Amino acid sequence: MANIVSARALLSFSYGFLNVLVSLYLHHIGYSFLTVGIILGSAIVLSSSLTFLMAMLADHYGRKMVLVFLYLIFAVSSFVFLSSKDVSILILLSGLGSFTGSGGGPIGSGGPFGAVQTALITEFTDRSRFSRVLSTASAIGLISSSAGSFLIDVVERLDGNVFSLFYVAGFMGIIGMLITVFLKDNGVKSSRLLPTISWKRMIKLSVPTIPNGIGAGFISPIFSLWFHLRYGISSGEIGLIFGISNIFVLLPMLLIPRIIKPESELSAIVWTRSASSILLIVLAFVTVPPLAAAVYIARQGLQMGAVPVRQSFSMGIVDSTERATASGVTSMTRTGFSAASPPVAGDLLSISTIYPPLIGGIITAADPLLYYFLFRSSFGNRSGS
């Protein structure tokens, strides 16, 4: 399992700066807010489709082989991204690399890597320890992501070109691919390409991700651009905020899974996601940069801190041979539905910076409500799920 986590750490390090820089870069080379939104939204569609396809292939043909391929296309996409200003090529590279402003971070936070690697983690873990092990793996990813975000500020202070970090990401992808080659293959595979055992539960798990994706799409892919326009701060300062937020997330991410028992996982999902939606709405009206940073950091702590619990909940109610597919399905619905939001959010930015987080927060509030109504029989009785 050490190989899985170490390879992911390199990827998280890269996403720490890529997801800050991608929208800023697109704006830097002259694209309007609407066009930036269209590029990111289209890339999200491509990334979500890739996630679903790669997850199914991983469950059926082998997770290790698929991971090696994913690292390769990530590396190529990173190396080539700065070489073109053609919209279609930028969409293709951003989608294949899954740097869409919201696809990196800890294990399972998005993109095809999360779906496959989360399933791999559970292969080597007892069910009772799913959330703890996933939280530890995610914590390592967060530390790496923070380092990547802080690197932007370092490069900026040295008067370097922050966008050259895309090439660094390419090298990280190559190293991650080489590490993955040495992964142990347990031979856990599904008998068919399409899921046949847990497909009903996959659909049920996907429903709450729809408002989550739509709402998050209003702000997550353009968060760095939003901070820049709202408060006039530089990319390095934004990187510091993102890096600090990832460090802060470590506490709830390590603590929540250790105090939440399997039968209480759903309750934790509901209250943490409700609180994070409220904080996103509050962020829309904050005018002081330090306070805005504090609200953002608190929101990320609640939103991301419970990710291992959500992963544990979903992985625990589907068949072991279909876990990558289950993760891929929920990721696809979440990111797929989020694709329509960035163009709208980009257009709204030209009117007022208040609208993206406000609308996003209101829509994401439906996510915990749907979790409750769909799985309420699970409260206090996990077997009922």
Per-residue pLDDT of the chain (385 residues; tens, 9 = 90+): 677 778 888 888 998 899 889 989 999 999 998 898 899 888 888 888 888 888 888 887 877 888 889 999 999 999 999 999 999 999 999 989 888 766 444 443 456 787 777 777 777 666 666 667 777 777 788 788 888 888 998 999 999 999 999 999 999 999 999 988 887 766 666 766 766 777 888 888 889 989 988 998 888 878 888 999 999 988 888 888 888 887 887 888 778 777 777 778 888 889 999 999 999 999 999 999 999 999 988 888 888 777 778 878 887 888 878 877 887 788 778 877 887 888 888 888 889 999 999 999 999 999 999 999 988 875 544 433 3
**Domain hosting residue 266, numbered range:** 2-384
**Residue (of 295, 250, 257, 260) closest to 276 by Cα position:** 295
Spatial contact of 253 and 307, defined as CB atoms under 8 Å apart: yes
d(CA 180, CA 8) in angstroms, rounded, equals 9
Can you state the angle between helices 33-61 and 63-80, rounded to 10 degrees? 160
Q: Is the pTM of this model over 0.85?
A: no
Q: How many CB atoms lie within 10 A of CB 117?
A: 28
**CATH for 197:** 1.20.1250.20
Provide the number of structural domains found in the chain.
1
Can you state the angle between helices 289-305 and 265-283, rounded to 10 degrees? 160
Give residue 85's pLDDT: 92
Q: Given 3-state DSSP classes, what are the helix, strand and coil percentages for the chain, each rounded to the nearest 5?
A: 80, 0, 20
Give residue 137's pLDDT: 79
Give residue 64's pLDDT: 83
Spatial contact of 348 and 356, defined as CB atoms under 8 Å apart: yes
